[in-house]
Structure 1
Amino acid sequence: MNHILVIRLSAMGDVAMTVPVLRTFREKYPNVKITVLTRKFFEPIFSDIENLDVYHADVTGKHKGVLGLRKLAKELINLDIDAVADLHNVLRSNVLKVFFSLKGIKVIQVDKGRDEKKALTRSENKIFKPLKTTHERYADVFKALGYPIDLSTHTFPTKATLTPTIIEITQNSTKKWLGIAPFAQYESKTYPLELMVEVIEKLNNQDQFEIFLFGGGKKESDILNNIASKFTNVINTVGKLSFEEELKLIGNLDIMLSMDSGNAHLAAMYGIPTITLWGVTHPFAGFMPFGQPFEHAILPNLAKYDKIPTSIYGNKVPAGYERVMHTIKPETVIETIVSI
């Protein structure tokens, strides 16, 4: 095969988790062309991988609905693809699979391990054990296509050169650069804001960190602006950088503190030591950031909240589990950061 189409449309963290896999693939199979089908916004995530093209899926515009997907499939087939690695395996990619199959193009889809994950997250007769990581599941797809890869051979890229805008924001600070991404999709896996402010305040007072806050949207930006205004060593990055520049800054951090969310995976794909805070989700589900030791995951009191994980994504919160993250003490977070 000379040309493999890789499908991963969303979400940002899942897209970022493809990067170490694709880097490893590229190192072992340099002559196989890769085209990644994803959303236009995510294209900078793949910027350091050579001989890789990104094809934009406009799922809210010209590629919307079955007719739009038919058009998209025709566009992709015209690229002379030989096989498809579907790392998403959702309704949209299943529709595309039908069109590809009609043309005799081989499609291998990721096994999401749904039954295993149900057993891990159910409240009764829970099977509490670590599952295969998402990165390993992605690698299995390429193995099934005839391209086995060993993720232990992965190498991280060199640090990106900072743009003038980034230099202006960072002021070339010689302190340790600490990124903090305090938000997640669900409140159930978002560290309480008052506790996060306590963490930021104590780290700021140590005067050894330059702290960069990451988020998105006006609401989060307003919250982060309010926090940053109170401290001398804290900078809100929201709205000040393009996504491409934001990735360059993340790739130059000394450490990242994040929830179980996309920013953790963005930092980890550059080899940045990444500390994650977990609520009703758990690393055993396979979403631990790439290459990070389990000690970098800070968990709530599992003896008190023994139904954790209650869901894979944080969208299911049993009664009485609304405050699980309050059991993570700010001192624990600070000690972990300083020790690293």
Structure 2
Amino acid sequence: MRTILAYRFSAFGDVAMTVPVVTEFLEQNPNVKIVFVSRKNFGDLFDDIPNLVFKGVNIDDYKGIFGMRKLAQELIHEFKPECVADLHDVIRTKILSKIFKRKGFRVSIINKGKKEKEHLTDIWNLEKAPLKKNTERYADVLRELGFPVTLSHHYRPYLSQKSGIGFAPFAQHEGKMLPLEKSLELAKHLSEKHRIYFFGGGKNEVETLDKWVAQIPNTENVAGQLTLKQELAKIAELEIMISMDSANMHLASLAGTRCISVWGATHPFAGFLGYGQKEEDVVQIKDLTCRPCSVFGDKKCYRGDWACLREINIQQIINKIYKD
């Protein structure tokens, strides 16, 4: 069996997007094994994928050139790969990939399309057009190594009986997050007809959601209470997940659950819509020519008013839920 060594260390949502790619790749190439190297706490994302070995590492234990050299030697000794797929292309993996090349390995590196994304996020660019999906960029790395793969771009529902709505109102950056007062209003409205489960991460998020649960009946806060595997299982039970442009959107895809996603400073045109999720389930303000101003939502608002998020009416989200 041929062995591909692949690595992507962060961010959580980006690593999650590799999962459907390697899953479908291995189904179409049963004579290939992938050793996927990433942070230890991402391991549950890759559970139960045939012919995939997850190698969790504490990346902080491998600092600088010497650290990357040590990691490369360990991976070669343990797995004896035939070729290498760099799905990250950051300083750390650039060093790692160069080490593998010098040792004679064939290395394929992701093309992130940086110039295309710079043009897309230029606020003076009035002719916005969708770029290649990031999952296809991952697949291109494997194709460049000489392996065929055709992505379906469909997520797989794992449960036929689903109930409840998941709501993940937070994101890493302000430019990705619906104002909390709007999210609270939405939760109150939806809880009248549905059981609502709140998802989040950090301590402050958990505290905020606990306060919401205390004032909204028919809601439950699961933030900070579940392992990653348990969280995926819970999302799989849901009828719908509502998420910002964040990792929860991608977890919904992995769990086989429809996701209504809210976009502000970022835009699905950049290629990061959840795998298999439908564009008609995207909530956004379409007539703001300054959108998207950022790929990651980490820039200050050019206008200064975050109109891309503040002009979203919760009825837009509600309409998506009941569109059928």
Q: Tell whether the structures are fold-level matches, with TM greater than 0.5.
A: yes
Q: Deviations over 1:238-294 (max 9, x none)?
A: 232112211111122211100001110111123211110000111001011111111
What is aligned with 1:116?
116
Give runs of ≥4 in structure 1 deviating > 4 Å.
Answer: none
Q: Secondary structure at the match of 2:275?
A: coil
Q: What CA distance in whole angstroms lies between the structure 1 residues aligned with 2:231 and 2:239?
A: 15
Partner in structure 2 of residue 282 of structure 1: 267
The separation in 1 between residues aligned to 2:221 and 2:66, in whole angstroms, is 42
Matching residue of 2:27: 27
C-alpha contact 1:119 1:127 (8 A) present in aligned 2: no
Percentage of pairs with the same residue: 43
Amino acid at match of 1:196: S
SS of residue paired to 2:243: strand
Equivalents in 2 of 1:15, 1:125: separation in Å? 30
Query: Under a length normalisation based on structure 1, what TM-score does the superposition of the two structures give?
Result: 0.90
Q: Which residue of 2 aligns with 1:43?
A: 43
Structure 2: tracts of 5 or more residues without a match: none
Pairing of 1:28-177 with structure 2 (within 5 A)? 28-60=28-60, 62-78=61-77, 79-152=79-152, 156=156, 158-159=158-159, 176-177=163-164
User: How does the TM-score come out when normalised to structure 2?
Assistant: 0.95
Distance 1:138 1:234, change over 3 A: same
Amino acid at match of 2:169: P
The amino acid of 1:178's aligned partner reads: I
The answer to whether residue 161 in structure 2 is matched with residue 178 in structure 1 is: no
Letter in 2 for 1:182: P
Contact 2:155 2:276 in 1 (8 A): no
Secondary structure (helix, strand or coil) at the match of 1:205 reads coil
Q: Which amino acid aligns with 1:314?
A: G
Residue 177 of structure 1: CA displacement?
1.7
Give the corresponding residue for 2:318: 334
1:67 Cα deviation after fit: 1.6
2:180 equivalent in structure 1: 193
Instruction: Give yes or no for contact 2:249–2:261 (8 Å, CA) kept in 1.
Output: yes
Task: Say if 1:210 and 1:158 are closer, same or farther in 2 by CA, change over 3 A.
Answer: same
Closer, same or farther: CA 331–157 of 1 in aligned 2, 3 Å: closer
1:141-167 deviations in Å (ceiling 9; x for gaps): 11111112111286737349xxxxxxx
Instruction: Tell me whether 1:325 sits opposite 2:309 in the alignment.
Output: yes
Q: CA RMSD in A?
A: 1.8
Question: CA shift at 1:124, angstroms?
Answer: 2.1
Structure 1 stretches of 5 or more lacking a match?
161-173
1:255 is matched with which residue?
240
Partner AA of 1:320 in structure 2: G
Opposite residue 312 of structure 1, the aligned amino acid is V
| 1:233 has 2:218 as partner | yes
In the other structure, the counterpart of 2:290 is 307
- Residues of 2 paired with 1:261 and 1:150: CA distance? 25
